[in-house]
């Protein structure tokens, strides 16, 4: 069984990462979603299958965005394992979304071989993904 790839077609890219629409109330460089499945929804639905692959063939810039969101979901789940209440989960996810973390292309990011050097606009896009993803994770928490 092959790994799942993003089915979302990117209109534009930021340093080889697709700038995809997001269903979120948070501002950022990502275009607003049109009520369809966004990359966060896609990453959540493919998460269980995709995390088991040791190799992943990147076919598009949308796949790189999917990779980032999958890694971020993994970080969220690690944090949520130790939390007992929904209010604590909300606080932890908010803190995780706002912390200064290495983004794709920066030293310390785990899969830099598939990403180009970052830009300020990409950092804002990553921040909007992280905030939207964190919000979704604590909303779904227990």
| Mean pLDDT calculated for residue range 35-46 | 90
Strands 17-19 and 12-14: antiparallel
Q: Which residue has the tokens 């990403």?
A: 115
Query: Is 42's pLDDT higher than 60?
Result: yes
pTM of the model as a whole = 0.86
pLDDT > 70? residue 140: no
pLDDT at site 67: 92
Q: Are 76 and 134 in contact (CB under 8 A)?
A: yes
């Amino acid at each position: 069984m092959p790994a799942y790839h993003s089915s979302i077609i990117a209109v534009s890219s930021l340093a080889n990462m697709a700038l995809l629409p997001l269903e979120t109330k948070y501002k950022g460089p990502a275009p607003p979603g049109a009520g369809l499945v966004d990359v966060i929804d896609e990453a959540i639905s493919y998460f269980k299958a995709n995390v088991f692959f040791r190799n992943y063939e990147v076919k598009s810039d949308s796949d790189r965005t999917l990779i980032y969101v999958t890694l971020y979901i993994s970080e969220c789940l690690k944090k949520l394992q130790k939390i007992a209440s929904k209010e604590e989960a909300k606080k932890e996810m908010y803190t995780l979304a706002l912390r200064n973390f290495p983004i794709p292309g920066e030293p310390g990011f785990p899969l830099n071989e598939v990403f180009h050097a970052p830009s300020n606009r990409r950092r804002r896009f990553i921040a909007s993904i992280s905030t939207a993803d964190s919000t979704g994770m604590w909303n779904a928490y227990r």
